[in-house]
Structure 1
Amino acid sequence: MTTMSEAPVLRPRVAARTGLYVFLGANVAVVTALFAAAGPSGNALITIGRLAGLYGALVMAFQLLLVARIPWLDRRLGMDRLTSWHRWTGFGLLWTLLGHLVFIVFGYAQVENNGPVDELVEMANTLDGILRAIVAFALILVIGGTSARFARKRMAYETWHFIHLYTYAAVVLAFSHQIALGQSFTSSPFAQAYWWTLWGVALGAVLLGRVVLPLWRNLRHQLRVVAVVPESPDVVSVYMSGKRLNELPARAGQFFLWRFLTRERWFQANPFSLSAAPDGKTLRLTAKALGEGSASLRNLKVGTRVFAEGPYGAFTTLQQTRSNALLVAGGVGVTPIRALLEEIKGHVVVIYRVGSSRDAVLLHELHGLARARGARVHVLTGPSQVSGPYGPLLGPASLLKLAPDLNDRDVFVCGPPGMTNAVLASLRELSVPRQQVHAERFSLAG
């Protein structure tokens, strides 16, 4: 009989990651074969440019899949990890498309004995699809620039999201350019079928994951606010109910993008994790007033309609590999930890890091759950620089004191970035296996 400590051959996260690698690798092989079958150009620069363009088209389709919010991938990898990969492949997309543009223009300029700028102007005026490709590249540059960290931090999510909608215009323009001038696209019926299928799957996944599924779930479940409960002067819990919630595939530790359909808030989507395990009757979020969106939750009226996108996230017991667990929460990051405490298997140790005892939101619920299931709860208070008898409160020695069998536990961490990074650094120093460490940042893409 297999026990929890005997990890399955292929963990969910590994299975999803391997599937993505295989998918990308197989398509790279197909694209390379199509390029070879179409034959090289008489000019080396043009040949390199065409190959860069094909890889750029493939990376663009792969990027769409990463942010399509496909439930199977999201439950195993998490939106934060998929978004991070989307961002890094974006750099690859920029370089491949830039290489495509530069090598093609310089190659044709060499063939025509023309200057590169004059050649680009001539190509835009005489070749079908070139102008569309230039516009697509300009859009991708703008979108990439707004995704840079320094720009993203200075921009409201709604503004950033609106700009990113132009990604779909760039995709359509780039694909129409490929149809018009792509040598490997027109080289055979198989090549055409392949590219149409690839783009159909990518765009279809986006349509399904980001439009059809959210609309269907909200029409099916029809969420409404049933209670608004202050937990402290700056923390509030919102309870929601609806139809057939027992059929909603939500798990403890996951989050939704919530839109409360009032005149002031309907256009704002805020990510809040569930602060209680779904019971098939109600959903609950608990939020601290950190911004305008979370502060206004206190003023919600009972009966307010709710549009929820999700559930999202891989911060669930699906990732559990060992019989016991350590849950580490910081501040309001306790909300998914509190939900996990209801559902996670085995003996559990909870570490709750807060500035002071009055910041310990939902502490009475943690203690109640701990008593019911024989778990231990440790509340660590004090400024971020404070040290205990074993050094930093979340340092290696302190973690080992609170959970001596740490290396034989799954560790779930949720809190502010600084705290999360400190815990992850301590776990690395203690050589806790990576597959036993689970941390997820609950935020909108980007």
Structure 2
Amino acid sequence: MTTVHTPPRPPTAIRPEVVARTGLYALLAANAAVVAVLFAQAGFASNALIVLGRLAGLYGALLMAFQLLLVARLPWLDRRIGMDRLTLWHRWTGFTLLWTLLAHAVFITLGYADSSGLDPVDQLVDLAETVEGVLRAVVALALILVVGTVSARFARRRLAYETWHFVHLYTYLAVVLAFTHQVAVGTTFVASPAATAYWWTLWSVALGSVLLGRLVLPLWRNLRHRLRVSAVVPENDDVVSVHITGRDLHRLPARAGQFFLWRFLTRDRWWQANPFSLSAAPDGRTLRLTVKAAGDGSAALRHLRPGTRVFAEGPYGAFTTLRRTRPDTVLVAGGVGVTPIRALLEELSGHAVVIHRVATERDAVLHDELRELAQAKGAELYLVTGPATPDRLAPAELARLVPDIADRDVYLCGPPGMTAAVRRSLRELGVPKPQIHFERFSLAG
């Protein structure tokens, strides 16, 4: 029997993601202004190149701290903006940081070379050998260059996630080296008690956020809830549902549409984390994920044994009813992307239309549950089958299935190609952007 959840709709006067996004922009702008004031109060060097280099270095330090905040996985930000968008902002901020630090190194080197008469290479070597902290800064810049290279789109597509992630961890070493460089030689850092207090506070908040969101909170939640596999249920030859129990799950702040990073603590898979969505709304007693075999890790879930310990990081994601702007909804799922859609339908209030796009009826996992749930909720359910051609969910087809689609929220989850095609169709149908909700369930953007 499917449990129907119909919580009251949240207030929608100001969308939560707008509040969070505006808050981040305001925080960055305020800190940029503070950095400029502290820089001016410290006084200027006689060489314009050195002045520019120092200013670029300070803003590089600010961007580095902001980078850490974006990937700290703080629940307040993640639930409102989503890990996918935060990761995307982190990526583009990273490229800005790279160019800012390069400008810092180039301007400082050229400025001192102009004063000493040395050529730039000899000047850089001299600074590294004679000035405390400069060699650490050179190493930090080299590490950031490596991370930036492997994060470029052409390289990222050729690397396994585990390889990319391992290389990316060196960013934390670069942060530590850059901070010690700033402490050692940063004139603005020691120019006044206010400047020193500001920079220590900035770095403490940034590093503390990472420590809290990525280590302390996951450890505390897993110690508290002690998750274990309770059942493994094959849905078809390629798809399996894993049921998980634990202690005090009613205190776990998970919502329909969210996902966790799951580690199943078996001998051969304990080190591997995978992002899988909840396929049923949390009921305070159990959690369920439904996964299609797409690699060794997901295929191995079929062989999990009840009682297996689970380490879960999360819940993550903003693909929830918190984003609603309209009383009625359309839920569009492609293939196994139906898992968060099925969970959302369980929690939604108001009239809903569910469109499930699959190649064949055999691929329609959880369809019996969807049909039962749609009947209980008074929702309409459409199963769209056939080859993966754009016209299956083209504007005319969507308008036929949902004539008032422009007046509804649209939640969309499926393969990237289908998601992009449906978003184009929704734009052609005049669905406002704030009413279109989708999320990329990935770790690296």
Give the deviation of 1:342 after TM superposition.
Answer: 0.2
Give the deviation of 1:39 after TM superposition.
Answer: 1.4
- SS of 2:441's equivalent in the other structure is coil
- SS of 2:276's equivalent in the other structure is strand
Task: Tell me if 1:444 matches 2:428.
Answer: no
Task: Decide whether the 8 Å contact of 2:60 with 2:100 is kept in 1.
Answer: yes
Q: Which residue of 1 aligns with 2:214?
A: 210
Give the deviation of 1:159 after TM superposition.
Answer: 2.1
Give the deviation of 1:149 after TM superposition.
Answer: 2.2
Task: Tell me if 1:108 matches 2:116.
Answer: no
Task: Decide whether the 8 Å contact of 2:292 with 2:299 is kept in 1.
Answer: yes
Task: Tell me if 1:134 matches 2:138.
Answer: yes
- SS of 1:315's equivalent in the other structure is coil
Residue 308 of structure 1 aligns to which amino acid in structure 2? A
Q: Please, which of 333, 336, 341 is the counterpart of residue 340 of structure 2?
A: 336
| Off by >6 Å, runs of 4+ in structure 1 | 4-7
Render the CA deviation track for 1:318-351: whole Å, top value 9, x for unaligned. Answer: 1011000000000100000000000012000001
Task: Decide whether the 8 Å contact of 2:12 with 2:324 is kept in 1.
Answer: no
Say which is worse superposed, 409-418 or 34-43, in terms of deviation.
Answer: 34-43
Over aligned residues, Cα RMSD in angstroms? 1.2
Give the deviation of 1:157 after TM superposition.
Answer: 2.1
Paired residues for 1:253-292 under 5 Å: 253-292=257-296
Render the CA deviation track for 1:255-282: whole Å, top value 9, x for unaligned. Answer: 0000000001000000000000000010
**Partner Cα distance (1:252, 1:8) in 2:** 18
Q: Which residue of 2 aligns with 1:310?
A: 314
Task: Decide whether the 8 Å contact of 1:34 with 1:191 is kept in 2.
Answer: yes
**Partner Cα distance (2:318, 2:414) in 1:** 16
Give the deviation of 1:202 after TM superposition.
Answer: 0.3
**Partner Cα distance (1:115, 1:154) in 2:** 39
Paired residues for 1:381-396 under 5 Å: 381-385=385-389, 392-396=391-395
Q: Which residue of 2 aligns with 1:389?
A: none
Render the CA deviation track for 1:84-122: whole Å, top value 9, x for unaligned. Answer: 000000110001000000000001100111100010011
Give the deviation of 1:307 after TM superposition.
Answer: 0.2
Percent of matched pairs sharing the same residue: 70
Give the deviation of 1:410 after TM superposition.
Answer: 0.5
Q: Which residue of 1 aligns with 2:434?
A: 435
Q: Which residue of 2 aligns with 1:378?
A: 382
Q: Which residue of 1 aligns with 2:67?
A: 63
Residue 441 of structure 1 aligns to which amino acid in structure 2? R
Task: Tell me if 1:36 matches 2:35.
Answer: no
- SS of 2:308's equivalent in the other structure is coil
Instruction: Show structure 2 runs of 5+ residues with no match.
Output: 1-7
Residue 327 of structure 2 aligns to which amino acid in structure 1? S
Q: Please, which of 249, 252, 261 is the counterpart of residue 248 of structure 1?
A: 252
**Partner Cα distance (1:197, 1:222) in 2:** 35
**Partner Cα distance (2:9, 2:288) in 1:** 32
- SS of 1:258's equivalent in the other structure is strand
Give the deviation of 1:152 after TM superposition.
Answer: 2.0
Residue 426 of structure 2 aligns to which amino acid in structure 1? L
Residue 397 of structure 2 aligns to which amino acid in structure 1? S
Q: Please, which of 79, 82, 85 is the counterpart of residue 86 of structure 2?
A: 82
Render the CA deviation track for 1:14-53: whole Å, top value 9, x for unaligned. Answer: 0000000010000000001111111111011111111110
**Partner Cα distance (2:173, 2:219) in 1:** 22
Residue 276 of structure 1 aligns to which amino acid in structure 2? A
Task: Decide whether the 8 Å contact of 1:235 with 1:286 is kept in 2.
Answer: yes
Residue 270 of structure 1 aligns to which amino acid in structure 2? N
**Partner Cα distance (1:27, 1:78) in 2:** 23
Q: Which residue of 1 aligns with 2:330?
A: 326
Q: Which residue of 1 aligns with 2:305?
A: 301
Give the deviation of 1:150 after TM superposition.
Answer: 2.4
Give the deviation of 1:134 after TM superposition.
Answer: 0.2
Q: Please, which of 344, 347, 355 is the counterpart of residue 351 of structure 1?
A: 355
Q: Which residue of 1 aligns with 2:56?
A: 52
- SS of 1:259's equivalent in the other structure is strand
- SS of 1:186's equivalent in the other structure is coil
Cα gap change, 1:6 to 1:397, in 2 (>3 Å)? farther
- SS of 2:188's equivalent in the other structure is helix
Say which is worse superposed, 419-428 or 253-262, in terms of deviation.
Answer: 419-428
Give the deviation of 1:5 after TM superposition.
Answer: 10
Paired residues for 1:81-230 under 5 Å: 81-230=85-234
Give the deviation of 1:156 after TM superposition.
Answer: 2.3
Task: Decide whether the 8 Å contact of 1:6 with 1:322 is kept in 2.
Answer: no
Aligned length: 438
Render the CA deviation track for 1:157-199: whole Å, top value 9, x for unaligned. Answer: 2222222221111111001110111111111000000000000
Q: Which residue of 2 aligns with 1:416?
A: 415
Task: Decide whether the 8 Å contact of 1:224 with 1:306 is kept in 2.
Answer: yes
Task: Decide whether the 8 Å contact of 2:259 with 2:278 is kept in 1.
Answer: yes
Give the deviation of 1:7 after TM superposition.
Answer: 6.7
- SS of 1:238's equivalent in the other structure is strand
Say which is worse superposed, 145-154 or 345-354, in terms of deviation.
Answer: 145-154
- SS of 1:62's equivalent in the other structure is helix
TM-score normalised over the length of structure 1: 0.97
**Partner Cα distance (2:110, 2:428) in 1:** 51
TM-score normalised over the length of structure 2: 0.97
